[in-house]
Structure formats: structure tokens, C-alpha cells
Chains A and B, each alone.
Chain A
Amino acid sequence: MLTKRIIACLDVDDGRVVKGVQFVNLRDAGDPAELAKRHSDSGADEIVLLDISAAHQRRATLLDTVRRTAKQLFIPFTVGGGIRTLQEAASVFSAGADKISINSSALADPTLITQIAERFGSQAVVVAIDAKRHNGSWHAFTHGGRVSANRDAVEWALEAESRGAGEILLTSMDRDGTACGFDCDLTRAIADRLHIPVIASGGAGGAAHFFEIFREGHADAALAASIFHYGISSIGDLKQHLLAQNIPVRWPC
């Protein structure tokens, strides 16, 4: 049976992980390569690295980070943050990413989705949507949630799929950072309309939230960052909890 994926996210600024990094026994708790390996060893199904610096002069640092991280990682590896062109996507793939994630640049130019999908395949294109509740529906936001795109999130997800996106990384801005659970209504609204997988993000605070987002939110995968350091002792514990409730997960790995 196809399993539900547990995805560990690393937010990286200028080559350093900046959120939720309290692993013990690490030489360098802020090193993305070391953390990614650690997550992979402890049972993460996939790693997402989001470059939140995204300033132009830091591009070289990002590529170096991607290269170092990819070198010892043999599970799917997605990289996002500030990718604006096919050329930039190509350089991230060459550095070792399996998928790229685009958000603001896809909303600014939706043909970018198709361009990257035609060259690297749809499976390599993740469209990230930052959604915020507004009068009973959800709006898509860009630029790290600062700017409204004036687009309905569900309708944008459908367009992204039709343009060649392989997966949707859906972040609830209302839940992000709250640790009070994923947004099941938002995720279900999109997952039920699409044929491609939907990764739920934002709000993970405990194992029960993962159960809810798979059972009630119909998510194909769930992503979290700090929970894997604070809320739950390990991804293995989370997976065993889910298995006990008949959610199929990859365990033992």
C-alpha cells in the first residue's frame, strides 16, 4: 500500500539551519547537510530545504549547501526559495536536488511551471502555496506570506496542476508556527480536487495532528520542522504511533 510520507523541513538562511535545531550529539546543529542526514537516518521519508535568505548574492552559498546536503542523502530531496527562472532551477538540479519548489515566481509567471516540467519532468516540480483563510475560502500569498496574490488558493492549485506541477506543498499561514494542528479543511479542500499529491504544512504540534491531517485532511504527506526537535522524540516514534492507528507509513525503514 502507498504510504503517507513524513517530510522534514530545513529552513536555511545563508547556509545555516535557522529554526528548531536542538538535536543532541551533533557537531554542528545548524549544518543542513548534517541535519538532513540525521533526519533521513531517523526515518524521514523526504527532505525539503527552503532557503529563506534568497538574496541574490547568497545564491552560491545555497548551491554549495545543496551539493553538500545531497551528497549523503539517498531519499527524495526538494529545494525551494527564490528560484525564479528555468536556469536557476537547472543549477539547483545539477547541485543534486530531485525536485524544486516554486511559489512567488510561479504566481508571477505560471508558465515557469510548464517550462521546468517539460525539461525535468512533472515529478520534479513542486508548487508551494501559502494560503490564508478569508471569508470562508483561502487566498494565496507570496513573498513569504507578506503579499496577497489576489488568487483563490484552491483555484490556483488546480491551475498549477494543469500546468504540470507534480505535487503541491500547501502551507496554512493561519496555523504555521502555532503548533495547534494542520488545517484539515484547507488541505481537504485542495487534496479532494487534485490528482497530484498534496503535502500539508503548518501547525504540526504532536502525533495526533499527523493522524488528523491524514485521516481528516486527506493529505498525501505532511511536513514539519521544529516538531521533530521539540514535540516528539523521533520520527520513528511518530511513525509507530501512526501505524498503531492504521495509517500506512514506511516503518521500519
Chain B
Amino acid sequence: MIAVVDYGAGNLVSVKKALDWLGQDCAVTSDPAEVRRARKIVLPGVGHFGSTASLAKSGLQAVISEAITRKVPFLGICVGMQWMFSGSEESPETRGLELFPGTCVRFPQTVKSPHVGWNQLEIAATSRLFRGLPPSPFVYFTHSYHAPLNGTTVASCEYGGKFSAAIERDLLFGVQFHPEKSGETGLKLLANFCAI
């Protein structure tokens, strides 16, 4: 079972719908016991970085950290990816999981924020998430903060400068865009994650 973690941030219907479409056994859940039993974990997220604070309070953060040490594949989407970093300017008092170094920052004043719509990626050939996809696919974004580029960046995107659109290391994956809203490209990416 793939656990789609519900921590009260926005709408999780579309992530579940996409996994259902791919024929995956998945459940939207806020129950730590159910997340502990999952063979894969997806942490979606729209909205505010501060909403991830509830993960620590509910005990879900401890369960997720423990699952990650057991090598349970983990995919963070949008704010879910940002949470894998140390933190975000959006909510300096909220700490992330610190699985990846750096802090998420706001887009510069030179571009409209939020960054909403379809933008093109530059993909690293070695990426497992993007296996079988063209080198510059279009995906759908909606966000005001983004993660910096680092050694684990497997897809970068240009908007007021380059930022990390996807990261992966071992069995940890994060995407800033919404694969569940990115048409065939997004479904293929989710299928790749499910197959890991």
C-alpha cells in the first residue's frame, strides 16, 4: 500500500486519483500506524510551509523519519519536497526534515509570484524518476517558494533564475511541480516512482 499522507494541507484527491489511475493500491491517511505499514510514502502539499508543523505534532514526522531509515521509498510533492530541506523563508520557525541541505527561498521581484503554469525542465540523464521521458518535458507548477540547486538536483527549471524542480538521492525523491496535474508526463513519473 502507498500511503498518501494527509496532514490537513489542502486537497489530496488528485494525487490519490492519479495513483488509482495507475492501478496502485493507495490510501489517503493521517494515521501514523497506517503510514508505518506503507511500502511507499507520498507527501503531497499545497499552500503554506508552516502547515508542515502539524507533522511533528501528530507523530507523523517521527514515523516518516523512521520509515526513511528502513529504506521505504519517499516522494515529496511541492511543499512536501520543500519539507525535505532544512526549512523555508516562508515560515522560518518551522523546521524541515533536513534530508537535503539548504533553505527554500522566494522568487525574486523580477518575476511574478506565484509561479503558476506549465514550465519546461532540464533533466539529468541519470534520473530514475524521469526514466523514459523526453529530456525537456513540460510540467505544471504552482508555488511561490523553491529549493536551491544542489548536487541531488535531477531536474532544474528556469523562472527568475534556475531552481531545483526535482531531487533524488537513494530512495528519497522530491518534485516541486505537480505530477498529478502534469498530464502524461506526470503519470509516467508517478509510475516510475511506484516501480522503484
Are A167 and B116 closer than 8 Å at their CB atoms?
yes
| Inter-subunit contact B17/A121 (CB<8 Å) | no
Q: A96-B17, A98-B14 are in contact. Are A166 and B181 (CB under 8 A)?
A: no
A94: B residues at CB distance < 8 A: 13
Q: Chain B residues near A96 (CB, 8 Å)? A: 13-14, 17
Which residues in B have their C-beta under 8 angstroms from that of A2?
A: 115, 117-119, 159
| B interface footprint on A218-245 (CB within 8 Å = 1, 0 otherwise) | 0011000000000000000000000000
From the candidates A93, A98, A120, A195, name the one contacting B112 in the complex (CB within 8 A).
A195
Whether A123 touches B13, Cβ cut-off 8 Å, given contacts A197-B112, A220-B116, is no
Query: Which partner residue on chain B sits nearest A123 by CB separation?
Result: B142
CA A120 – CA B142 in complex, angstroms?
13
Given the interface pairs A74-B187, A122-B114, A195-B112, the reply to whether A93 lies near B119 with Cβ below 8 Å is no
Q: Which of A5, A76, A93 contacts B13 (CB 8 A)?
A: A93
Chain B hits for A124, CB < 8 A: 10-11, 46
Q: Is the CB of A75 within 8 A of B11?
A: no
Q: Which residues of B contact A4 (CB under 8 A)?
A: 117
Chain A residues engaging chain B, CB cutoff 8 angstroms:
1-5, 40, 45, 70-72, 74-76, 93-96, 98, 120-124, 166-167, 195-197, 220-221, 250, 253
Q: List 27 A-B contacts (CB under 8 A).
A: A1-B120, A1-B158, A2-B159, A3-B117, A70-B13, A70-B17, A74-B18, A74-B21, A74-B182, A74-B187, A75-B140, A75-B182, A76-B140, A96-B17, A98-B14, A120-B10, A120-B46, A121-B9, A121-B46, A123-B116, A124-B10, A166-B114, A195-B113, A220-B112, A221-B117, A250-B118, A250-B138
